[in-house]
């Protein structure tokens, strides 16, 4: 534990907090977006907002892969799972995400076989072990996860596993950040860049944020001191009149990313013309689909999909939460109709979702929400 | 699934150099190291693992920090470890 103390040292946190406060221009308000759900966790878990002056506000971004999957894709997955002799596989996080009628768990109660897997390679193994079944992997995730699906596709092709396919729902982070920057709802002063996505894509793709939009971005690690350090770095840039991409998480994130990861994504997948994101709507070139060379492994070409667009439940305000316009507890159903036990929206289902993070760390439990409503 | 979890390399596959036996908090599983092609990887090295693939090589200090972060988030890490225990990558 001696290592960890260095990262957790409260003294250092207080010193950083003082440096942060000293950099804030009197009378100016600062709003920074943490793009990644992992950062949201650290911020709530450690109450980092308490270390910041009231004029520095953190808002949550769209960086939770489960949260941004639209309901129609959940329905499509269940539709595939209902086809004869089909085994659907997906990450555990997806199992409780509500579709328009059912979750994967509900669907299994009615006879489908939707299995949780740890890795796409586990899905491939299920395919090898069940040659008389069609085994589909519902792939979700940002560029952090896409290389894993890509590597699995390469192996499936090499091993000629012809009963395996991928229902590709991979999304890309850059167009989502651009959509937020173009959104009139939100005025941001800078970004805390996602840690693990950047391990794959590196730091260069963020350069447009500073060059075209004039905002600073700091790629940040996940420890409490990493986040405070990154906020300090953003404020320092603003104070110096600079606007750059900086990498606070250099001990894990290489500036150029993971070249093999980017190569295998490019070999197996290409950008879709557009893709629907929960809350953000349709965004151009914001998701990946399989290349023609992998058509035989593409569930979207093997199965006929309803592909119906399903509007989110009216009461759910995940969209505003994902865009950083609303704080989780400002949603009408937060902590009352929508809880981790009975989630309405994806932000409450996924452990990386901002609503689940708020709720689970007891900052706004049911009782406190009631109190807040009463006052 | 979005978590990056640290693991210590126990051995590299001889027939399959893209696979390594890795210890994650006492759980030993096969992890694909194909994305680290070109990097020297030896038993005792630490890697950051995401859905069965090593994303990057990290040092021991970073591994401990990452582990501490994961332990602090509770259920999500417990779920991830349960998923890993059920994994049998080949």
Put simply, whether B17 touches A (Cβ < 8 Å) is no
Per-residue confidence (pLDDT) for residue A363, from 0 to 100: 57
Mean pLDDT of A167-180: 96
Mutate to test the interface with B, among A1, A2, A3, A116 (most CBs of B within 10 A): A3
Per-chain mean pLDDT for chain A: 91
Express the helix, strand and coil content of chain B in percent, nearest 5 each: 30, 35, 35
Per-residue confidence (pLDDT) for residue A5, from 0 to 100: 57
Contact B1 A151 (CB under 8 A): no
Report the residue from B50, B72, B73 with minimal CB separation from A148: B50
Put simply, whether B78 touches A (Cβ < 8 Å) is no
pLDDT reading at A373 higher than 90: no
Q: Which residue has the higher pLDDT, A63 or A109?
A: A109
The encoded tokens of residue A249 equal 């998480």
Contact A64 B55 (CB under 8 A): no
Question: Which residues of chain A neighbour B84 with C-beta distances below 8 Å?
Answer: 118
Report the distance separating Cα A166 and Cα A298, nearest Å: 5
- Closest to A257 measured CA to CA, from A147, A141, A155: A147
**Distance in Å, alpha carbon of A124 to nearest chain B alpha carbon:** 9
Strand bridging mode A164-170 / A134-141? parallel
Strand bridging mode A190-193 / A30-36? parallel
Mean pLDDT of A2-28: 81
Put simply, whether B15 touches A (Cβ < 8 Å) is no
Report the range of poorest mean pLDDT among A55-59, A285-289, A298-302.
Answer: A55-59
Distances (CA, A) of A66 to A141, A305, A327, B19: 7, 20, 18, 28
């Amino acid at each position: 534990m001696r290592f960890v103390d260095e990262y957790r040292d409260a003294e250092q946190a207080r010193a950083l907090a003082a440096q942060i406060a000293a950099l804030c221009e009197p009378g100016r308000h600062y709003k920074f977006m943490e793009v990644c759900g992992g950062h949201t966790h650290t911020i709530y878990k450690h109450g980092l907002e308490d270390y910041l002056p009231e004029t520095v506000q953190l808002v949550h971004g769209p960086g939770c892969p489960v949260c941004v999957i639209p309901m129609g894709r959940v329905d499509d997955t269940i539709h595939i799972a209902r086809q004869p002799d089909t085994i659907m596989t997906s990450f555990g996080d997806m199992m409780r995400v509500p579709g328009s009628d059912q979750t994967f768990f509900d669907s299994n109660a009615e006879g489908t076989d939707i299995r949780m897997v740890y890795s796409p390679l586990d899905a491939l193994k299920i395919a090898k072990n069940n040659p008389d079944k069609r085994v589909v992997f519902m792939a979700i995730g940002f560029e952090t996860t896409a290389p894993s699906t890509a590597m699995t596709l390469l192996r499936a092709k090499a091993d000629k596993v012809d009963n395996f396919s991928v229902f590709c729902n991979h999304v890309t982070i850059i167009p989502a950040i651009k959509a937020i920057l173009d959104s009139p709802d939100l005025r941001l002063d800078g970004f805390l860049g996602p840690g693990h996505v950047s391990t794959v894509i590196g730091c260069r793709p963020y350069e447009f944020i500073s060059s075209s939009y004039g905002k600073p971005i700091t790629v940040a690690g996940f420890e409490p001191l990493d986040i405070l350090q990154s906020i300090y770095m953003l404020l320092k840039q603003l104070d110096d009149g600079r606007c750059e991409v900086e990498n606070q998480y250099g001990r894990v994130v290489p500036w150029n990313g993971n070249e093999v990861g980017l190569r295998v994504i490019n070999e197996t997948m290409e950008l879709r013309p557009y893709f629907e994101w929960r809350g953000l709507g349709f965004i151009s070139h914001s998701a990946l689909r399989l290349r023609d060379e992998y058509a035989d492994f593409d569930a979207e070409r093997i199965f006929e999909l309803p592909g119906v667009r399903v509007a989110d439940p009216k009461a759910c305000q995940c969209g505003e939460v994902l865009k950083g316009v609303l704080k989780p507890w400002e949603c009408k159903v937060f902590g009352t109709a929508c809880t981790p036990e009975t989630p309405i929206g994806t932000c409450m289902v996924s452990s990386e979702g901002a609503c689940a993070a708020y709720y689970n760390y007891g900052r706004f439990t049911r009782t406190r929400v009631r109190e807040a409503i009463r006052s | 699934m979005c978590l990056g979890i640290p693991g210590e390399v126990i051995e590299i596959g001889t027939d399959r150099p893209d696979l390594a036996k890795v210890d994650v908090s006492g759980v030993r599983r096969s992890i694909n190291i194909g994305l680290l092609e070109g990097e020297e990887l030896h038993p005792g090295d630490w890697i950051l693992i995401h859905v069965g693939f090593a994303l990057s090589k990290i040092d021991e200090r970073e591994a401990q920090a990452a582990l501490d972060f994961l332990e602090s988030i509770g259920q999500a890490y417990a779920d991830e470890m349960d998923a890993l225990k059920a994994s049998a990558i080949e």
